Amino acid sequence: MTMMTTLRRAATLGAVALATVGLAGEAWAQKTRLTVYTAIENEQLEPFKKAFEADNPNIEIAWVRDSTGVMTAKLIAEKDNPRADVVWGLAASSLGQMASMGMIEPYTPAGSQRLKPIFKSGKNPETWVGMDAFLAVVCFNTAEADKNKKPKPASWADLVKPEYKDSIVMPNPASSGTGYLTVAGWLTIMGEEAGWKFMDALHQNVSQYLHSGSAPCVQAAKGERLIGIGFDMRGASEKTKGAPIDLIVPKEGLGWEMEATAIVKGTKNLDAAKKLADWSASRKANELYGKYYAIVADPEVKSMPANYPADGERLMAKVDVDWMAKNRDRILAEWTKRYDGKSAPKAR
């Protein structure tokens, strides 16, 4: 009995402690609070939120932001009891995966007819609508190149030359979506057989397969590596910060992916969610995307952010998104067998 009292006291104390720390955000009187999951870059969160809320004063955006892999895993894990209202800014392939699991509320945003067809799911109503495209480019550190007398590559074919031995990093496609779209891009451009042959040769020059799509261009920017194959926008922003790098779009063409918007099935704020989906397809929104990305969904919006590679859109590979999704397991298994298992001793 006395023991129980002690236990109960301890439990009460615990509950009080939990309650004290658990006073997370109290109700916002009349405003609808939309929980929006996203993987857009940190610096975009504030401007995007402000711009939308200025046009929709009765709706407030509450972001949950992490990397594409973490957000996709979280969304799928929450499938039976979704917590997000809208996904604004996640890889279209992730949203496609969610759509095939019945997790998306189909909705065609007002005005989305204007957008480039490639930026839409093609379903009626749409499951997702694209915002902007990002490319897997080559980030080349010019300072290190000068130091070590290395020529600047212009094509994928250049990258397999012996002078780049151990000086390339790229994302591991088994850990990173950017890695997978890079590999899928090669297989599309070159065809399967030649594509794998190219990767066999490239493997000789790769010093590391990294676990994130941003890391390769960041490492190239900091001179940790001569060449990084990875997420273009990160390379451009590093260059803006003063990194001695050039962003190269290889002339054969390159893999790409887009960020897109979708409404989560089961949202309790469907009306507000639709407003956000409408807004995310608007001209204004596309102009905002254009501040960060060169290729956006709205054909009328012409943009060229600082230090962005120029001819990216022309060289985008004709990748088949469905093909990419269907063949993912097979390609990753083959890739892992060829390069991942034997990669360890190379680190020495």
Segment 179-238, which members bind other proteins (CB under 8 A)? 207-209, 211-212, 214-215, 217-218, 221-225, 234, 237-238
Integer angstrom CA distances of residue 261 from 88, 315, 340: 4, 24, 33
Q: Which of 314/348 has CB closer to other proteins? A: 348
Tell the residue number behind the tokens 């996904």, with chain if given. Answer: 87
State the nearest-atom distance from the C-beta of 42 to other proteins, in Å.
Answer: 5
Among 161, 251, 291, 346, binds other proteins (CB under 8 A): 346
**Do the Cβ atoms of 213 and 171 come closer than 8 Å?**
yes
Q: Which of 109/213 has CB closer to other proteins? A: 213
Q: Which of 65/284 has CB closer to other proteins? A: 65
**Do the Cβ atoms of 154 and 161 come closer than 8 Å?**
no
Q: Which of 120/225 has CB closer to other proteins? A: 225
Q: Which of 57/341 has CB closer to other proteins? A: 341
User: Beta-strand (E) ranges in 95-176?
Assistant: 104-105, 129-141, 168-171
For residue 103, what are its two tokens? 């997790």
Q: Which of 48/156 has CB closer to other proteins? A: 48
Nearest to 52 by CA among 62, 37, 40, 42: 62
State the nearest-atom distance from the C-beta of 340 to other proteins, in Å.
Answer: 6
Long-range contacts of 329-336 (CB under 8 A, 24+ apart): 331/173, 331/180, 331/183, 331/184, 331/187, 332/173, 332/174, 332/180, 334/196, 335/173, 335/174, 335/183, 335/199, 336/174
Q: Is 29 in the site for other proteins (CB under 8 A)?
A: no
Tell the residue number behind the tokens 């261009």, with chain if given. Answer: 217
**Do the Cβ atoms of 141 and 245 come closer than 8 Å?**
yes
For residue 306, what are its two tokens? 């600082």
Q: Is 27 in the site for other proteins (CB under 8 A)?
A: no
Q: Contact letters (x/-) for other proteins, 250-289, by CB under 8 A?
A: ----------------------------------------
Size of the site for other proteins (CB under 8 A): 82
The residue type of 289 is Y
Among 21, 27, 54, 306, binds other proteins (CB under 8 A): 21
State the nearest-atom distance from the C-beta of 206 to other proteins, in Å.
Answer: 9
Among 22, 57, 102, 162, binds other proteins (CB under 8 A): 22
What is the DSSP-derived secondary structure letter of residue 91?
A: E
Q: Contact letters (x/-) for other proteins, 43-72, by CB under 8 A?
A: x-xx---------------xxxxxx-xx-x
Among 31, 116, 265, 328, binds other proteins (CB under 8 A): 328
Please state, in angstroms and rounded to a whole number, the distance separating the CA atoms of residues 319 and 193: 16
Q: Which of 120/150 has CB closer to other proteins? A: 150
